[in-house]
Chains A and B, each alone.
Chain A
Amino acid sequence: MKYIIAVIQPHMLDEVREELKAAQVNLITVTPVLGCGRQQGITTIYRGMEEMGNLLKKVKIEIAVTDPFLQPTLDAIRKGARTGEIGDGKIFVFDLEDCMRIRTGEMGAQAIG
């Protein structure tokens, strides 16, 4: 089992979700976050004074999958989130030790889907 965390452009979320749906990955947790990587921050102006390098709005998505679903999920996220410009984001993959469905108490792969 793997745990996937991806940080993407906020406006690409809808397309990522559609791609995930097409790959039959329906469980997802989404959080609005701020961050900055190679894409520099944005400049805003308040009463004539520039404020440099504000953090950019991003969206963090988290998905737990069984091993056979790992590659299709990564592909779906990349397909949906890629614009080709700096700032498209990153995907991180972790080993996932276990998982429990609260309602039934099921564990492991059964609890994920």
Chain B
Amino acid sequence: MEVNGGDTAFVLMSAALVLFMTPGLAFFYGGLVRRKNFLSVLMQCFILICVITLQWVILGYSLSFGANSLGGLIGGLNFLGLSGVGMEPSPDYGTTIPHLAFMAFQGMFAVITPALIIGAFAERIKFSGFLVFMVIWATLVYDPVCHWVWGVGGWMRNLGALDFAGGTVVHINAGVAALVMALLIGKREGYKGGPFTPHHLPFVVLGASVLWFGWFGFNAGSALAADGAAANAFVTTNISTAAAGLTWALIEWKHNGSPTMLGAATGAVAGLVAITPACGFVGPMAAIPIGAGSSALGFVAVAVIKPRLGYDDTLDVFGVHGVGGVWGALATGIFAQKSVGGTDGLLFGNFHQFGVQAVSVLATIAYAAVMTFVLYKLVDAVIGMRVTKKDEIVGLDISQHREAGYTVLE
């Protein structure tokens, strides 16, 4: 195995793009909260880059990509502290790039997955409880599921489940955890079923745009080589996102009378989520129904189902990432095409693949839901997860961080 310069350059640049998604997400989420909680959301996203990066190099990478242990349930400890992860390629992962480059690229995924969950409990979580919860969640939920899907010997990988860039590992995992967290932590003070007015929509658009940009690294980079598969993933990603952004705006136009900027931005993210597992397995034209379908389902989840059920998923992590992730994973089993990624889906007569996708979706939902529930109860009992009513009313910027995002006077 020899290091290929082009592949290495591409994967390292992709890793930097994926890193940039987390601050992008911070602005996407931060613009949606009330101004008294803006910094708290930025801080939660930013500190996860710091904390999970360390968790990843010390333990997380090994649990995800270490030698198969416990019958495919988790990686072993052979890469603990990056031992044996060096400048030469790994025989198993990204065989034309340095093992360190693969590790760094995957580390960015480990960072953004818990960051996605932040949207569910925004505006009411205690920073200390949040930090401890996220480190444990990354270790006991993200790392094992990552191993199942992408680790050599992982049971979903052996089953033949297709997940090009993290539909199950990242989006279903985070989306389901988000729903459980929103239910457990409870509604915000004063929540009556409708949203509080977002404090700065231009930041939301900036954040969504950064996500769209960074997602090229996420999806195309997952080819782990500067090749045709990367180009296919790049193109399908862009098409799905465009279709989804347009679809959400059109649905709003019909349903509410006017297309909104927030709707187009939300739709774009839903499209990015849905194409993530599929981008290396479906052709460019299949990306249109995948993106449009994600927006249609997401809109129903966010605008119809959520108000009826009454849970307070502050920034609709479940509606966008959970629902979009499930749709994307199933759509991969529908639209996959042998000539693109080596496997046919339902449309091309392969019913088996659709079944395999469904199994991987259900297993991820079940594991993420149960583990998130248990970990939440644990951390809540020991440290506490929700701030006091007074701290919540004053806002998390002042109560958790003693600083303010905005001044009113100079």
> A: which residues have CB within 8 A of B?
11, 14, 32, 34, 42-46, 54-55, 57
Contact = CB atoms under 8 A, between A and B. Distances in A.
B402 interface: yes
Nearest to B398: A42
Interface secondary structure of A, over-half rule: strand
A11 B409 CA distance: 20
Given A14-B190, A34-B409, A44 B393 contact: no
Contact of B403 (A11, A34, A45): A45
Contacts of A55: 408-409
A43 B393 contact: no
A60 B371 CA distance: 47
Contacts of A34: 408-409
11 contacts: A11-B393, A14-B190, A34-B409, A42-B398, A43-B402, A44-B403, A45-B402, A46-B403, A54-B404, A55-B408, A57-B408
Interface string B178-209: 00000000000010000000000000000000
Interface residues of B, number: 8
B408 A32 contact: yes
A8 B89 CA distance: 64
Contact of B402 (A11, A14, A44, A57): A44
Contacts of B402: 43-45
A17 to B, nearest CB: 12
B33 to A, nearest CB: 15
Interface of B is mostly: loop
Nearest to A85: B390
A33 to B, nearest CB: 8
A42 B402 CA distance: 9
Contacts of B404: 44, 54
Nearest to A54: B404
Contacts of B408: 32, 34, 55, 57
B402 to A, nearest CB: 5
Given A44-B403, A57-B408, 7 more contacts: A11-B190, A11-B393, A32-B408, A42-B398, A44-B398, A46-B403, A55-B408
Nearest to B399: A42
A45 B400 CA distance: 11
Nearest to A57: B408
B217 to A, nearest CB: 32
Contacts of B393: 11
Contacts of A46: 403
A43 B404 CA distance: 10
A19 to B, nearest CB: 15
B5 to A, nearest CB: 42
Interface in B339-377: none
Interface string B381-403: 00000000000010000100011
A44 B397 CA distance: 10
Contacts of A32: 408
A31 B408 CA distance: 12
Nearest to A12: B393
A14 B190 CA distance: 9
Contacts of A14: 190
Nearest to B190: A14
B200 to A, nearest CB: 15
A65 to B, nearest CB: 27
A58 B403 CA distance: 17
A14 B393 CA distance: 13
Nearest to A46: B403
B255 to A, nearest CB: 27
Contacts of A44: 398, 402-404
Contacts of A43: 402
Contacts of A57: 408
A43 B393 CA distance: 17
The 3 closest A-B pairs by CB, nearest first: A11-B393, A45-B402, A44-B403
Q: Which of A14, A32, A57 has the most C-beta atoms of chain B within 10 angstroms of its own C-beta?
A: A57
Contacts of A45: 402-403
B36 to A, nearest CB: 8
A56 B158 CA distance: 59
Nearest to A50: B402
Contacts of A54: 404
A111 B409 CA distance: 35
A43 to B, nearest CB: 7
A80 B315 CA distance: 29
B397 to A, nearest CB: 9
A34 B409 CA distance: 8
Contacts of B190: 11, 14
A43 B409 CA distance: 16
Contacts of B409: 34, 55
Q: Which of A14, A44, A46, A55 has the most chain B CB atoms inside 10 A of its CB?
A: A44
